[in-house]
Structure 1
Amino acid sequence: MGAEPFDVAGAAEEDLRAVHRVMLAAQAVDRPDEAPLTFEALVGALRTPPAGFGPRRCWVLRRGGGIVAIAFANFPEAENGHLSLVTITVHPEQRRQGVGTAFLRDLLPELEGRTVVEGWEITRGGAGEHWATAVGFRVVNTMVLQLLSVAEVDRATWDVPAPAGYRVEDWAGATPDALLGSLAWARNALRDAPFGDIDFQAPLWTPERVREAEADLRARGVDQRMVVAVHEESGDVVGVTEVEVRPHRPRWASQRETSVLRAHRGHGLGRCIKAHMAWRLLADRPDIERFYTTTSADNTHMIRVNEAIGYRTVRTLVSVKQDVAVLASHPGVRG
């Protein structure tokens, strides 16, 4: 039993089906309130990983000839070049037998010299958190997962006019040239948001990095939508919210960052642009069934903004991290 590199692009359907069985069984135990992950959605997610987190490598672990666990490691770049984002999923029938720990032991030398490992979106109080802390990880942030069901929401909550002195603009794909510079500056406001003690740093946006990110999303087939608040007097973008609709889940909208420059907070711009986003996206894509987002549990203001337009909190999640050297020397991992 050992970690085996897994080529997602060239994998045989039999192996992909085996990975799907692992993920489906884990979901039934760890997130039983979610709709079961379809095979098509899994394959799409494997082949179109989220943008912004660098290249991704995958491994599987076999036992008795079958795949019993899968791991992903992302290797962010630039500000996060020291960091690897790792997810290990073990079939529930194989848990408490040292499978996850053996997998981690095999993966640590494969992390391309990264010095810190983080794991995100682990259900608080679940098997994943208990295992992670047992092998030496520290809990460093708490998030909430919030969902907005389009069929259930009162759309009147989206009737939020722009405050005096501001206007709302929106687009799909490429940012208009006239707004590019101020959009990049406004997106950097996200770096003020609370994220606990995680190492991952939000990008330091420049116009060039915005264009690179837009091109990356187009290459992945992702429908990226932006809604911004523009300050009338200066003509600058001062608030921004982003949604992505990925090709493997065309009825789910991933609500990504929302940020407002500090000097323009307190006017309700966050709620305004998020509400406008819901109206605008559904006008173009009426088949969207739900929006989902994660927000730091410390960011009580943004949680209330989301609730005001119809989101409800469905799960609390934790993030964990540890130095690679500490994990490698931990008695439970070292063996």
Structure 2
Amino acid sequence: MTSIKIFSGKNKDIPEKYLEQYFALRQQDEEEWYGVLPPSLDFYRNFWNVPREKGSDRIKTIAVNKNNLAIGFGYILWNTLYDNLDRSWFRIYVSPKERRKGIGSQILKEMLKKLPNEIKIVGAEAQKDSPGEYFLKKFKKEQSYAEDVITADLEEVNLKDVEKEAQKQKELALSKGYQIIRVDDRDFKSYFDEEEFVKIIEQIWNDMPKEDLTEENMNLTVERHQAIYDRNKKTGQEYITFVVVHEATKQPVGLTSFAINKYQPAIAWQDDTGIIHEHRGNGLGLAVKYQSLLTLLKETKVKYWITGSAHSNKYMYRINKILGHELWQNVPVYEFERKTIDELLS
């Protein structure tokens, strides 16, 4: 293995003199992953000081060679409250010229040393057939889940066609007894009972396909939901959501939401999309996503609209295909027994 220095822990444990190199590595990782213009370095500088939300913790790690050059980083996340208290998720990146030298294994080993003993499962994802997946397959051959990441180039979309179809879909939903309303900045409490609305989001999140993942359902409280999105806003995210309301009961029954980061204005990242079971089969998922597409075209400078869903979710894939998305990459997700990784790294 290559001789390196590893610094791991909280922000205070990473020497300040390496931070700009760390930010550059984070940016490089994102560009390599998505193949589009990543956020500016100011995003990573700001992100460094944004704390985790209550109920979540994180270890950060940086690897430095003998010339004091940062050549890799890692982080590992886990919950301390609510649910899934026995598992964590990690990400490791090593500069291309430094790969196949055991650096990723050294970073992972160091992070696992600092992980609480209660954590028994660790998970990670990587692009299919990438160096990252090659690394993960050293610990386990079978994936637990596959995410299809798809994108739409909005410069190739005809605004007039979208205006026409978005209005048509909105009127069709209304004819079936559903209204679509826009909510900016996830200010749901101005429109709905907040506790009831968060339970709808919880239902949508927990209903998403898990394939062979073993994670528990999410326990989403109002406090937790607010903390997640308050943190995201601090990183520069701004949200627009379209909510489906059942006219007869005046209750929300589904939504779609996207975010644009001020440090990466050319990209829209899809967030939640879901309709609760009792109201499916009415074309509501397509209707709300058409409102998102129209908004992106008329009100933003976004070039790429990026979304993802389980490889097994053919219904959502069909909707996204109608909206002009094309498959970009497949992302396998792996779950590992911590003790197995510890043994293989020892």
| 1:224 to 1:200, Cα distance in 2 relative to 1, 3 A | farther
Residue number in structure 2 paired with 1:72: 75
Identical columns (%): 17
Matches within 5 A, 1:251-266: 251-266=266-281
Give aligned pairs, total: 329
Q: TM-score, normalized by length of structure 2?
A: 0.84
Deviation at 1:178, TM superposition (A): 2.8
Where do 1:15-94 residues align within 5 Å? 15-23=18-26, 30-31=32-33, 33-35=35-37, 38-47=40-49, 54-64=56-66, 65-76=68-79, 77-94=81-98
Tell me by how many angstroms 1:132 deviates. 0.9
The residue correspondences of 1:301-316 to structure 2 (distance < 5 A) are: 301-316=315-330
Counterparts of residues 125-136 of structure 1 (less than 5 Å): 125-136=129-140
Q: Is the 8 A contact 2:149 2:329 kept in 1?
A: yes
Task: Report if the CA contact (8 A) 1:140-1:198 is conserved.
Answer: yes
8 Å CA contact 2:61–2:107 kept in 1: the answer is no
Aligned to 1:150: 154
The amino acid that maps onto 1:35 is: L
What letter is aligned with 1:72? Y
Structure 1 unaligned segments of length 5 or more: list them: none
RMSD over aligned Cα atoms? 2.9
Spell out the pairing of 1:176-195 with structure 2 (5 A cutoff). Answer: 176-187=190-201, 188-195=203-210
Which one of the candidate residues 243, 255, 259 is aligned to 1:240?
Answer: 255
Over 3 Å counting, the alpha-carbon distance change for 1:34 and 1:220 in structure 2 is closer
SS at match of 1:55: strand
Structure 1 residue 138: Cα displacement: 4.4
Partner residue in 1 for 2:312 = 298
Question: Per-residue deviation at 1:105?
Answer: 1.4
Q: Does residue 110 of structure 1 match 2:124?
A: no
CA contact 1:228–1:240 (8 Å) conserved in 2: yes
Offset of residue 111 of structure 1: 1.5
Which moved further from structure 2: 214-223 or 85-94? 214-223
**Cα distance between partner residues in 2 of 1:209 and 1:7:** 22
SS in structure 2 of the partner of residue 96 of structure 1: coil
Letter in 2 for 1:109: K
Q: Which amino acid aligns with 1:90?
A: V
Residue identity in the other structure for 1:171: V
**What is the TM-score when the length of structure 1 is the normalising length?**
0.86
> Structure 2: where are the runs of 5+ without partners?
none
SS at match of 1:128: helix
Cα displacement (A) at 1:71: 0.3
**Structure-2 separation of matches of 1:212 and 1:26:** 27
CA contact (8 A) 1:140 1:197 kept: yes
Partner of residue 168, structure 1: 180
The answer as to 2:230 corresponding to 1:227 is: no
Query: Quick check: 1:56–1:72 contact (8 Å CA) kept in 2?
Result: yes
Counterpart-to-counterpart distance in 2, 1:217 and 1:179:
22
Helix, strand or coil for the counterpart of 1:270?
Answer: helix
1:257 alignment partner AA: D
Aligned equivalents of 1:294, 1:50: Cα separation in 2: 24
8 Å Cα contact 1:82-1:116 kept in structure 2: yes
Q: Which residue of 1 aligns with 2:293?
A: 278
The answer to whether the 8 A contact 1:45-1:248 is kept is: no
Contact (CA 8 Å) 1:238, 1:264: kept in 2 or not?
yes
